Structure 1
């Protein structure tokens, strides 16, 4: 089981953590929503819960709750710039289908 970050994604997370002035890492999870059923959620973590799984990549910790891990195991998080747009991209090998707008997915 693993969650990984590309070097660009790790640099971006590190920048945000420094800007915030606190935090141990980035929480990656899923929530029920959208046309396909699941959507990713990202938030910065100040305290770890005992049940959290922690993965470290390029010096950045990625924290995942047990319920989300089944849906995102093997995911690589990248940070991309496309023209004026920039953001995180999820490369999840478990995805079977995505909605047309790209906001939600199905396993």
Structure 2
């Protein structure tokens, strides 16, 4: 696994705090995988899931922030390069937000995007 730099993918302190709390509440996972997959009305969607370090791929990139490890596969990193992963709370809406300079358009519901 390769470590990647903040020039390739950045995480806000709020996102790191959210992931750290989520991992603590989960208790059984070693880290979080974030990525991009084909889905949604615009073609791609972001995802994140809990992972066990034993089940990660040797080609994964890793962001190591103290007690939290975030894994990203090469294909997803290509789509995410230059992005900021943030956590926001807006009224009743809260969650992880991707500020991706590679996204050309976002669908009306905000769940998927076009590259």
Say yes or no: TM over 0.5: yes
Aligned equivalents of 1:78 and 1:58: distance in 2?
18
Structure 2: unaligned runs, 5 residues or longer: 1-6
Aligned equivalents of 1:58 and 1:2: distance in 2?
19
Aligned equivalents of 2:9 and 2:69: distance in 1?
10
Aligned match of 2:23: 17
RMSD: 1.6
Of 77, 92, 103, 1:95 maps to 103
Note if 1:68 corresponds to 2:84.
no
Structure 1: unaligned runs, 5 residues or longer: none
Q: Give the 3 Å change call, closer, same or farther, for CA 56–20 of structure 1 in structure 2.
A: same
Moved more, 23-32 or 59-68: 59-68
Q: Give the 3 Å change call, closer, same or farther, for CA 60–2 of structure 1 in structure 2.
A: farther
Of 32, 52, 69, 2:38 maps to 32
Aligned equivalents of 1:28 and 1:17: distance in 2?
13
Count of matched residue pairs: 107
TM-score, normalised to structure 1, is 0.89
